[in-house]
Amino acid sequence: MSELSLDRILQSQGFGSRKWCRQLISDGEVAIGGQVITDFKSAFETTNLSFTLFEEEWLYREHVYIALHKPPNMECSRKPSHHPGVLTILPEQFSWRDVQPVGRLDHDTTGLLLLSDDGAFIHAQSSPKRHVPKRYLATTFDPINEKLIAQLKNGVQLHDEPAPLAAISCEQIGEHQCEIILEQGKYHQVKRMLAAAGNHCTALARIAIGELTLQHLELESGEWCFLEESEIALLR
């Protein structure tokens, strides 16, 4: 349980500097339980607190855990160079509260991307020790055959890697499509593994992280949602 003054609450949620948040409150833009609060020093218990700002309702969240269905031609970097950054899809206050992608997808890779402002969560999810399996749907230039599937499952040697890398599982889905589950998250890993096995990846989508699937989240390309406790648990 923790009580915070309304200006601190707004600031913690990424709605701007303390000074700006005080101004919003004094201007009568913030309401709690249907009542406009103009005293920025008024304190509220933050657990399950909901408030409206400019008549839009928000739930207080100590940290945010977000799933985004990443569209193509967007970069995960916070300082993108050639394509717009994925953070531009989210409301501005998430950048203020330092929300960042958990790991990266290539600019042309689509699918499930997690974002958060919880450093411990980001660290745990990105740690190579965690072995969170990531499931990808890869489309290839050449038809897929049993030899390719076997190579990916047995391990292929990538440049700069000390030992061959293997998929946990690899299943043919169509003539030019396979589902690959990887435990590691090396740079361009799926594309490089397919290239090392003699094929070429023409499209790549991440469809699941741990047990959390895009299908379960029902997100269209470019859509995002907050993850609730039960969904975060699927990542462990």
Name the β-bridge partners of 66. 115, 226
Taking the least distance from each CB to ligand URA, the nearer of 25 and 144 is 144
CB of 138 to ligand URA, least distance (A): 8
Structure-block tokens of residue 35: 């009542």
- In angstroms, give the least distance from the CB of 159 to ligand URA: 14
The two beta strands, 110-116 and 201-209, are: parallel
| Radius of gyration over every alpha carbon of the chain, rounded to an integer in angstroms | 21
Stretch of residues binding ligand URA (CB under 6 A), selected from 83-91, 121-129, 182-190, 221-229: 182-190
**160 in the Ramachandran plot: left (φ > 0), alpha (ψ -120 to 50) or beta?**
left
Binding residues with ligand URA: total (CB under 6 A): 8
CB of 204 to ligand URA, least distance (A): 5
Residue of the chain from 110, 151, 189, 199 that contacts ligand URA (CB under 6 A): 189
Task: Show the binding pattern over residues 141-160: x = contacts ligand URA (CB under 6 A), - = does not.
Answer: --------------------
Stretch near ligand URA under the rule CB under 6 A, chosen from 94-102, 164-172, 183-191, 208-216: 183-191
| Separation CA 198–CA 226 (nearest Å) | 40
| 109 near ligand URA (CB under 6 A) | yes
Residues labelled as active-site residues: 106
Tell which positions 6-65 bind ligand URA, by CB under 6 A: none
Tokens matching residue 38: 């103009």
Site membership for ligand URA, residue 110 (CB under 6 A):
no
DSSP secondary-structure letter at 183?
A: S
- DSSP for 71-130 reads PSS-B-SSS-SSS-BGGGGS-HHHHHTT-EESS---TT-EEEEEEES-HHHHHHHH-TTT
191 near ligand URA, judged by CB under 6 A: yes
Binding site for ligand URA (CB under 6 A): 105-106, 109, 188-191, 204
